[in-house]
Amino acid sequence: MRRKDREIKDRGLIERIMEKADVCRIAVCENNRPYIIPMNFGYENNCLYLHSANEGKKIDILKKNNDVCFEMELEYELVEDQNPCEWSVKYHSVIGFGKAFLLEDSEQKREGLDVIVKKYTGRPYSKYPEAVLERLAVIRIEIESITGKRAEE
């Protein structure tokens, strides 16, 4: 990280950013061409959980290459100035790398969905019909590395 003065080293603060962020952007790569997707997500035990249709470009790419990068941010605010060259941004952000796995087992899918649902509703659900689970992909990203950065000026 170039700006060490903005680095967030406190893992607890990084996790709070992840818990509060509404959207996680997932970057995948196919044939040296990146593809990024904004997604709803949940975080638990050093893993991200995402849900998706069980077919489409992102799923096709993940089946070939499960390396991912992810990003999320909080408190993004543009700070204007009379001089456009002096504009800046306030933010807290997290960027990480990991391996994505498509969960196949219905019970694992339920558990992953509960992490996501709990993030947005404050409580797990667990009553997912089997037909829904069959047509839904649940992706677990096992986090390998993560960094946080902030600008508060």
Containing structural domain, residue 22: 4-151
Residue scoring higher pLDDT (123 or 6):
123
Q: Assign residue 134 the CATH number of its domain.
A: 2.30.110.10
Dihedral, 101, 106, 112, 116 alpha carbons, nearest 10 = 120
Dihedral, 81, 85, 89, 95 alpha carbons, nearest 10 = 180
pLDDT number for residue 78: 67
The single-letter code of the amino acid at 119 is: K
pLDDT tens for 13-55 read: 999 999 999 999 999 999 999 999 999 999 999 999 999 999 9
Concatenate the DSSP letters of all residues of 21-70 into one string: -S-EEEEEEETTEEEEEEE--EEETTEEEEEEESSSHHHHHHHH--EEEE
pLDDT number for residue 83: 79
pLDDT number for residue 138: 96
Tell me how far apart the terminal alpha carbons of the chain are, to the nearest angstrom: 18
Contact predicate 102/58, CB 8 Å = no
SS3 state of residue 78: strand
pLDDT number for residue 149: 82
Give the integer Cα–Cα distance in Å for 21 and 98: 18
pLDDT number for residue 142: 98
Total count of domains within the chain: 1
Residue 145 confidence class, pLDDT cut points 50, 70, 90: very high
pLDDT tens for 53-65 read: 999 999 999 999 9
pLDDT tens for 68-116 read: 999 998 876 666 777 777 777 777 889 999 999 999 998 999 999 999 9
pLDDT tens for 128-142 read: 888 888 899 999 999
Q: Is the pLDDT of residue 143 over 90?
A: yes
Assigned token pair, 91: 């933010």
Residue 14 phi/psi, 5-degree rounding, is: -60, -45
pLDDT number for residue 99: 98
